[in-house]
Amino acid sequence: MSELLHANGIVKRFGSFTALKGVTFRLRAGEIHALMGENGAGKSTLIKVLTGVHEADGGTVTVAGRGIRAASPREAEAAGISTVYQEVNLLPNLSVAENILMGRQPMRGPFIRHGEVKRRARAALARLGLEVDVGALLGSFPVAVQQMTAIARALDQEARVLILDEPTSSLDARESEELFAVMRRLRGEGMGIVFVSHFLDQIYAVSDRITVLRDGALVGTWEAAGLPRLELVSHMIGKEVTASSGDGGVVCGGGAEAFRVEGLERRGVVGPLTFSVAAGEATGLAGLLGSGRTETARMLFGIDGATGGRVKAGGEEVALGSPRAAMAAGLAFCSEDRKVEGIIPSLSVRENIVLAMQASRGVLRRVPRAEQEALAAKFIAALNIRTRGPETPIGTLSGGNQQKCLLARWMAMQPRLLILDEPTRGIDVGAKAEIEALCGELRRAGMSILFISAELEEVVRNCSRVVVLRDRRQAAVLDGPAISLRTIMETVAAS
Amino acid sequence: KPSGSSGGGGGGSTGGKLVVGFSQIGADNPWRTAETESVKAEAAKRGIELKFSDAQGQQEAQISAIRSFIAQGVSAIILAPKVETGWDGILKEVKAAKIPVVLVDRGVTVTDPSLFATLIASDFVAEGRMAGEWLVKKSGGKAGIIQLEGTTGAAPANDRKKGFEAAIAGSPDMKVLASQTGDFKRSDGKNVMEALIKAHGAAITAVYAHNDDMAIGAIQALEAAGRQPGKDVTVVSIDGMGFAFEAIKEGKLNCTVECNPLLGPMAFDAVAKALKGEELPKQLVQEDRLFDETNAPAELPNRKY
Amino acid sequence: MKEIRSTLVWPLVALVVLLVFNAVASPGFFHVEWKDGRLFGTVVDIFNQGARVPMLLALGMTLVIATGGVDLSVGSIMAVSGAVAAMQVNAGASMGQAVAAGLGLATLLGLVNGVLIARVGLQPIIATLVMMVAGRGLAMLLTGSQMVPFANRSLTWLANGSVGGLPVPVVLVLLLAGVTGWLLRRTAAGLFIEATGDNEKASRLAGIQTGGVRLAVYGFSGFCAGLSGVLEAANISAADPARIGDTRELDAIFAVVAGGTALTGGRFSLAGSVVGALLLQTLTLTLYNQNVAPAVAPVPKAVVILAVCLLHSPRLRARFGKRTQSVAA
Amino acid sequence: MATGLVLVALFVAAGAGYENFLSARVVLNLFKDRAFLGVVAVGMTFVILSGGIDLSVGAVMAFTTVFLAKVIGGLGWSAPVAMLAAVGIGVGFGLFQGWVIHYFRIPAFLVTLAGMFLARGMAFVVSPRSVEIRSAFYDDLGERGLPLGEGLLLTVGPLIYLVVVAAGMVVAHGTRFGRNVYALGGNEASAALMGLPVGATRVAVYGVCGGCAALGGVISTLALSSGDPTRGTGLELDAIAAAVIGGTVLTGGRGWVFGTFLGVLILGTIKTILDFDGSLDPAWLRIASGGLLLGFILLQKLIARQRVS
Ligand SMILES: Nc1ncnc2c1ncn2[C@@H]1O[C@H](COP(=O)(O)OP(=O)(O)OP(=O)(O)O)[C@@H](O)[C@H]1O
Ligand SMILES: Nc1ncnc2c1ncn2[C@@H]1O[C@H](COP(=O)(O)OP(=O)(O)OP(=O)(O)O)[C@@H](O)[C@H]1O
Ligand SMILES: [Mg+2]
Ligand SMILES: [Mg+2]
């Protein structure tokens, strides 16, 4: 099979830190090639070197036998490489259609054919099974739609190489399947596809070969069919792993009621919802894309105020008019949109972690520096955050590690109810287990968790109660033994 | 209420009252404020309705104000032009609407002298010259001078500099050590003087400021540096504001050349004549007097501004 | 901390270059003598004149810019507070009362800016533009557009006196800068300001009252401008409502940006701004000292600004082999 | 949208309050008097949309006016050649600023602040005082225009203004360059990752703005037949205000050229109202113009909010 892309001995340094240590990577025509590794292993960095975002400090890249020195994404695109980056890198101030066709708009003389732009955008999204108003601003859509838009943009280019950096991190099963179908078809047409994901199932479902990176170095490349899962994970984390049951089974219900949501709604948007959250247990919110899970969380946390209903804690009604009020009532909310609503990019890891705690204490009672450092050190260790140190700007961390810092921010608050919206988005297998374990600990300490995830297995594994949403309304509340993949799917799908 | 024709045109008046538009450059110094007050007071005295516009230093704003005056159908326009050039077009429009224009402060260069009725002017060059001549006489033709210029590019600054430098050109020992802008401000005058004292030290024997405010600032700086303004440093300025007279009385300022801002009465006299259709001389030059310790104390009680 | 220190280097380098130029071009530049119980010399002037306006304004402006805003109204607020203080002493108030009145009103006007921005949701440039125009009007209204001279010794002392040989404004402003800097780091205010400027949405979701933060920084900027206005009036024993502080907002913004605080908000450096202000003042006095004709003075000014810019340029620094880290957006 | 409504409302209100206000002449004057500002503001809109700012426009305009006066009057160039050269210089100056901003990654604020000083200084070097322009071409052009009846004439300046606005709208909305400007202002990093020509767009935007500033200078000389090195002080603030009032967001990426057009008219209307009133002293005049501006923006916000809900 012909080789499409060959990266040889790539070295990339950020200051004194070496993110890639002589990585070699080959992509054939007509294959789906998975790129695996823990958070911070260097996957995104390798991709950014291939597409000219970062200039390599060493090594060469050849595309279809020709040496290229992609100095910019523009040139990489011209060389036939089309990319979906990990952080959705689109333009929220432009329409969905424009985002898909930016730079490649069909023209009539010097003028853009706007109608044609929309038509092509609609077609590109339709290939992924998505139908939205392509004229609306991208920023008005949730992360998942934005991610689909980014994928549609990449698919619309006539490229020989397609690079997808965690494209499925906020898609649910159905969307992911649509994407895989497209990927398989493109593979059939001879395209080479690089695919990054932390979902092992997905990796094995689509990829032909797997390359593993660890700490910026190449571990090896294998045929997917000949690489057992356990061995793959061992390569990733650099340790022998044996099959372990994991203690992630369903935590049984029966805990005392900690919070009670009564008829909470935001008229025209979501609700009404009525359910209770038990102390020391996780309650899941399940539903399809756009079913209103995020909106429920935002309403609870007082970001978009509720128009009706109430929330009671221990029988007393709590005021949830603003994030601050919600925090005072013991709530914490970790947003799914880490780039826009999560990280403060130029502040350090330490500052990002203590931020919420500091905010709740107020301006005058500064968290002492020693305490800040202890806290940062504790979470860096506990969540295994890959950072050069607590003073590194969070913006320079890998996506998964940023997510861990945000989790740390809210765990440090020791809230009574922790709302996690897609907390494991972009997080590697090892870290997922760590986070689940940590949640377990928090629960045992009496904290309640409201858990939102597109990964139903995760919901099933962690939650003792699941509120199922359909069309922005509460469809059912499943309890304890009633929770299973099948029951949730059935409730979601019922009409 | 009676309304003028929307196409403009002269002779418009409201409620029998004469309406006159006054386009002023700005309100950025006491001299100009005094001028504005004088025009306003005179209008009130004569029962004339005054449409006042403050252009905040922009010629374009003056032009648009005049256009508004035309649209409102005023009977006459008093204009204190920011610069000399650029008035041809708008004054033609005014003329087409048959509205007489009285210029105050300074003239304009126009192709057709009939575009304005008359000019009630101060001659900035002459003011500078008077100050220069006085200083030459006072210092015996030998001085190390600091010149504090007005706002860069402003007509009074340009002209007062020109007049002064012409007056001292004949005396080779009259040396301008430094010439820096104090932006017509007291604070900037003081800041600049503070700096220049350090740079030129004892060589400074005279200060020429383009307005009284900067002179006062310079005096403060000189005193702070242990010099004696009015005695070992001769201080000359222009405008003749009340506080300058007081400074002369205290012996700190040596001389100020008056630039009379009280143009209101003359301006409205001219307006009245122009409206009656009388032919006016093209220029009514204000007589600017010079005050020093000999005649200032006597004048002080008469100062209204 | 390390980054902040490294951003401070470049304005300092520019300042040193300018000082070296002066040392060569005008021999008396560094001459400082003891006269009437105070230090006297060009360098003292740089600090004194620099403290009264650019430094003070830059102090407030730094925090405003750190939140991603800008304050165009500082010049007009200077006029208001100067006028109020002058009128108060003329009406028989003590220096303390007069200054308090001036600063109080100035802070209030700053807070009005803050309300328009944080509560009403106007863009900072527009809200403070309105204040710039209306504030000037207010100052002129209070004074009938006239200069307000006064003869209060203690008020005049504020700008012309000296403490231990140093001009009072220098002592006052450095003290204010020091205390502000210390407070910002002792409390969480500095963190909140930087977080608000860097990512307001995320900060709000983390529980920071970003509205309150913005309100406070505009209030503080008003306070600094007020103090500057009082000192300027005290300096010439008169308040100048129509002209004082005119266009000085640009000086302040320049000082802040030259000092390494990005206009887009986020990380800030008070020390950098102070150095930036000194740089600006040194430049001004250099032009006086070299007797550069006022008409062409803008040209060397432009050259120095460009030079400072180039020193800040990551690209150029990379050329010189300095290691830099870039923060992914 | 809201801006337009507010403008109409203001006009009607003022018409009720002041006689002769609601007339074709007043409307025409609005265009005549603001033509130069309007053109400059269109250029500024592009810069702001790209996430930048240009403080040099007023100084560039001033330089253009004295340059024209000098080369036409002093050196005897033919007026059209001189105008082309002037606009060329403006574009070149803008391109240079854009290049410095982009290549050296220096904040636009600082670069264009330096540009402002530079252009202003050069204007004073060309001529320290205002100069007349005597030229048959200017006299001729002054008489020409689009007759609107009633003896009203839409002169060349306002015509250029309208053409520039129309062209600006088409470019911003309908061309790749225009869309790239929005992309750049929306998120530079994303625009770069999308493979858009970030550098070329940024440099070009400042070129456009410099060209508009120079064109504003040309219009200004057409209206005044003179050059003046002090002209256009504070113009940058007016231009920025016009854009922002018109709905352009200062952080870039959102806004529209037509909004700026309305913003310019709003600023003009406020000024006209104050001129028609004519009874305010300078202090109240400033308070009133600040107050009117604020009232305007608040009203606009209110209407915009009502429409959303
Ligand atoms: N711009 C940057 N500046 C400094 N360090 C960086 C920068 N970008 C990435 N790094 C560092 O390089 C390392 C590799 O990051 P990269 O984003 O490639 O990881 P990844 O494998 O994609 O991880 P994830 O699965 O979390 O997305 C990380 O330690 C990160 O902190
Ligand atoms: N498939 C879709 N098509 C169109 N609009 C969608 C779609 N999905 C979500 N939206 C938009 O998203 C908003 C509600 O989504 P919300 O974030 O509440 O859902 P969610 O259940 O949290 O989904 P997820 O987090 O998986 O994106 C609505 O404004 C809706 O317009
Ligand atoms: Mg990654
Ligand atoms: Mg969601």
Q: What is the mean pLDDT of residues C145-163?
A: 92
Chain D residues whose beta carbon lies within 8 Å of the beta carbon of residue C298: 116-118, 120-121, 124
Q: What is the mean pLDDT of residues A211-224?
A: 93
The structural domain count of chain A equals: 2
User: If we measure between CA atoms, which residue out of A306, A311, A278 comes closest to residue A292?
Assistant: A306
pLDDT tens-digit readout, D270-298: 889 888 888 888 889 889 989 988 988 88
pLDDT band at A230 (very low <50, low <70, confident <90, very high): confident
User: If we measure between CA atoms, which residue out of C236, C240, C228, C255 comes closest to residue C102?
Assistant: C228
Q: What is the mean pLDDT of residues C184-201?
A: 94
pLDDT at A249: 47
- Residue A107 domain boundaries: 3-237
In percent, the amount of chain A with pLDDT more than 70 equals 96
Residues A282 and A174 in one domain: no
Residues A270 and A354 in one domain: yes
CB contact under 8 A, C198 and A345: yes
Q: If you measure CA to CA, which chain C residue comes closest to D249?
A: C123
- Residue D187 domain boundaries: 2-6+26-141+156-308
pLDDT band at C4 (very low <50, low <70, confident <90, very high): very low
Residue A241, pLDDT above cutoff 70 = no
Q: Which ligand is nearest to the CA of A35?
A: 1
Ligand 1 pocket test, candidate residues A44, A49, A346, A406, most atoms within 8 A of CB: A44
pLDDT at A244: 47
State residue D157 phi and psi, 5-degree precision: -55, -60
Q: Tell me how far apart the alpha carbons of residues B139 and B283 are, in angstroms, rounded to a whole number.
A: 34
Q: Tell me how far apart the alpha carbons of residues C127 and C124 are, in angstroms, rounded to a whole number.
A: 5
Per the CB < 8 A criterion, the answer to whether C131 and C114 are in contact is: no
Assigned token pair, A313: 């804690």
Side-chain half-sphere of C300: how many Cα atoms within 13 Å? 17
Q: Is the CB of A293 under 6 A from ligand 2?
A: yes
| Domain assignment present for D34 | yes
Q: Cα D79 vs. chain centroid, distance in angstroms?
A: 22
User: If we measure between CA atoms, which residue out of A339, A25, A60 comes closest to residue A194?
Assistant: A25
Read off the amino acid at residue A143: V
Residues A60 and A23 in one domain: yes
Q: What is the mean pLDDT of residues B53-71?
A: 90
DSSP code of A137? Answer: B
Angle of helix D257-277 versus helix D235-245 axis, rounded to 10:
110
Residue B5, pLDDT above cutoff 50 = no
Whether B158 and chain D come into contact, CB under 8 Å, resolves to: yes
Residues A149 and A29 in one domain: yes
Residue C114, pLDDT above cutoff 50 = yes
Alpha-carbon distance values, B52 to A273, B62, D259, D275, D282 (Å): 65, 11, 31, 7, 9
Q: Tell me how far apart the alpha carbons of residues A147 and A141 are, in angstroms, rounded to a whole number.
A: 10
| Domain assignment present for A355 | yes
pLDDT at C322: 38
pLDDT at B13: 44
Average pLDDT along chain C: 89
**Nearest CB to C134; choose among D189, D282, D290:** D290
User: If we measure between CA atoms, which residue out of A454, A462, A485 comes closest to residue A197?
Assistant: A454
Per the CB < 8 A criterion, the answer to whether D250 and C90 are in contact is: no
What does the buried/exposed string (b/e) look like for B159-181 if buried means 16 or more CB atoms within 10 Å of the residue's CB? Answer: bbbebbbebbeebeebebbbbbb
CB contact under 8 A, A324 and C195: no
* Residue A334 CB neighbours (<10 A): 25
Residue ranges with strand state E in C197-320: 238-239
Per the CB < 8 A criterion, the answer to whether D111 and C306 are in contact is: yes
| Domain assignment present for D146 | no
**CB within 8 Å of chain D, chain B residues 51-90:** 51-54, 57-61, 63-65, 67-73, 83-89
CA of A289 to the centre of ligand 2 (A): 5
pLDDT at B8: 37
Which of A360-364, A475-479, B11-15 has the least mean pLDDT?
B11-15
Chains with ≥3 Cβ pairs under 8 A against C?
A, B, D
Q: Do chains B and A have 3 or more beta-carbon pairs under 8 angstroms? A: no
Tokens 């203080």 correspond to what residue?
C85
Q: Is A447 exposed, middle or buried (0-12, 13-18, 19+ CB in 10 A)?
A: buried
pLDDT at D220: 93
pLDDT band at A245 (very low <50, low <70, confident <90, very high): very low
pLDDT band at C87 (very low <50, low <70, confident <90, very high): very high
Residue ranges with strand state E in A355-479: 417-421, 448-452, 465-470, 473-479
Alpha-carbon distance values, A105 to A43, A111, A112, C309, C322 (Å): 31, 9, 6, 37, 41
The residues lining ligand 1, judged by C-beta closer than 6 Å to any ligand atom, are: A 14, 17, 19, 37, 39-45, 86, 386, 396-401, 426, 428; C 325-326, 328
Higher-scoring residue by pLDDT: A40, C236: C236
In chain C, what are the domain boundaries? 51-281
- Cα A34–Cα A36–Cα A40 angle in degrees, nearest 5: 140
Q: Is A231 helix (H, G, I), strand (E, B) or coil?
A: helix
| Domain assignment present for D237 | yes
pLDDT band at C327 (very low <50, low <70, confident <90, very high): very low
Tokens 């403490």 correspond to what residue?
C163
Q: Tell me how far apart the alpha carbons of residues D206 and D119 are, in angstroms, rounded to a whole number.
A: 15
- Of how many residues is chain C composed? 329
pLDDT at B15: 53
pLDDT at A253: 54
| Domain assignment present for D40 | yes
pLDDT at D140: 83
pLDDT band at C304 (very low <50, low <70, confident <90, very high): confident
**Which residues, 6+ apart, have CB-to-CB distance to B239 below 8 Å?**
B31, B211, B212, B213, B256, B257, B258, B259
Residues A181 and A322 in one domain: no
Q: Which ligand is nearest to the CA of A16?
A: 1
pLDDT tens-digit readout, A380-416: 998 889 999 999 999 999 888 999 999 999 989 889 9
pLDDT tens-digit readout, B94-111: 999 999 999 998 888 888
A63 forms beta bridges with A5, A66
Whether C232 and chain B come into contact, CB under 8 Å, resolves to: yes
Q: What is the mean pLDDT of residues A331-335?
A: 92
pLDDT tens-digit readout, A274-297: 998 888 889 999 887 778 899 999
Q: Which ligand is nearest to the CA of A141?
A: 2
| Helices first, then strands: H and E counts in chain C | 15, 6
pTM for the structure as a whole: 0.90
pLDDT at B16: 64
Assigned token pair, D263: 């913003």
pLDDT at A73: 86
Q: What is the CATH number of the domain that holds A436?
A: 3.40.50.300
Higher-scoring residue by pLDDT: C320, D63: D63
pLDDT at C203: 95
**CB within 8 Å of chain D, chain C residues 168-227:** none
Read off the amino acid at residue B281: P
pLDDT at D178: 96
DSSP string of B168-179? HTT-TTEEEEEE
Average pLDDT along chain B: 88
CB contact under 8 A, C257 and D104: no
pLDDT tens-digit readout, D159-188: 999 999 999 999 999 999 999 999 999 999
Residue A455, pLDDT above cutoff 70 = yes
pLDDT tens-digit readout, A262-274: 989 888 888 789 9
Closest C-alpha to ligand 2, atom 7:
A290
**Which residues, 6+ apart, have CB-to-CB distance to C115 below 8 Å?**
C215
Residues A208 and A330 in one domain: no
Residue D307, pLDDT above cutoff 70 = no
pLDDT tens-digit readout, D78-122: 999 999 999 999 999 999 999 999 998 888 988 999 999 999 999
**Which residues, 6+ apart, have CB-to-CB distance to D15 below 8 Å?**
D21, D22
pLDDT band at C319 (very low <50, low <70, confident <90, very high): low
Q: Tell me how far apart the alpha carbons of residues A42 and A196 are, in angstroms, rounded to a whole number.
A: 11
| Domain assignment present for D12 | no
Residue D238, pLDDT above cutoff 70 = yes
The structural domain count of chain D equals: 1
pLDDT band at A193 (very low <50, low <70, confident <90, very high): very high
Assigned token pair, D139: 């006299």
Q: Tell me how far apart the alpha carbons of residues C284 and B288 are, in angstroms, rounded to a whole number.
A: 35
pLDDT tens-digit readout, B114-167: 899 999 988 889 999 999 999 999 999 999 999 999 998 888 899 999 999 999
Q: What is the CATH number of the domain that holds D132?
A: 1.10.3470
Residues A231 and A313 in one domain: no
Per the CB < 8 A criterion, the answer to whether D275 and D289 are in contact is: no
Whether D288 and chain C come into contact, CB under 8 Å, resolves to: yes
Assigned token pair, D180: 């790239």
Q: Tell me how far apart the alpha carbons of residues C277 and A46 are, in angstroms, rounded to a whole number.
A: 44
Pairing of strands B206-209, B234-239: parallel
Q: What is the mean pLDDT of residues B51-67?
A: 91
Q: Which long-range contacts (CB under 8 A, 24 or more apart) does A176-184 make?
A: A176/A202, A178/A128, A178/A129, A178/A130, A179/A128, A179/A151, A180/A205, A180/A206, A182/A127, A182/A128, A182/A155, A183/A32, A184/A32
Closest C-alpha to ligand 2, atom 13:
A290
Residues A216 and A351 in one domain: no
Q: Tell me how far apart the alpha carbons of residues B210 and B159 are, in angstroms, rounded to a whole number.
A: 10
User: If we measure between CA atoms, which residue out of B143, B161, B123, B135 comes closest to residue B260?
Assistant: B123
pLDDT band at B10 (very low <50, low <70, confident <90, very high): very low
CA of A146 to the centre of ligand 4 (A): 12
pLDDT at C28: 81
User: If we measure between CA atoms, which residue out of B133, A62, C69 comes closest to residue D250?
Assistant: C69
Whether C35 and chain B come into contact, CB under 8 Å, resolves to: yes
Per the CB < 8 A criterion, the answer to whether D97 and D211 are in contact is: no
Residues A76 and A194 in one domain: yes
CB contact under 8 A, D193 and A53: yes
Q: What is the mean pLDDT of residues A50-64?
A: 88
**Which residues, 6+ apart, have CB-to-CB distance to C58 below 8 Å?**
C251, C252, C255, C256, C259, C273, C274, C276, C277
Q: Tell me how far apart the alpha carbons of residues C95 and C86 are, in angstroms, rounded to a whole number.
A: 9
Q: How far is D45 from chain A (nearest CA, A)?
A: 16
Q: ipTM of the assembly? A: 0.88
**Nearest CB to C266; choose among A340, A341, A346:** A346
Maximum C-alpha span of chain D: 62
Higher-scoring residue by pLDDT: B273, A253: B273
Q: Is the bond preceding residue C54 a cis peptide, omega within 30 degrees?
A: no
In percent, the amount of chain D with pLDDT more than 70 equals 99
Which of A90-94, B298-302, C21-25 has the least mean pLDDT?
B298-302
CB contact under 8 A, A110 and D175: yes
pLDDT tens-digit readout, A343-365: 999 999 999 999 999 999 999 99
* Residue A369 CB neighbours (<10 A): 11
Residue D257, pLDDT above cutoff 90 = yes
pLDDT at D96: 97
| Domain assignment present for A26 | yes
Q: Atom of ligand 1 at shortest distance to CA of C327?
A: 1
**CB within 8 Å of chain D, chain C residues 58-87:** 68, 72
pLDDT at A242: 61
- Cα C123–Cα C128–Cα C130 angle in degrees, nearest 5: 100
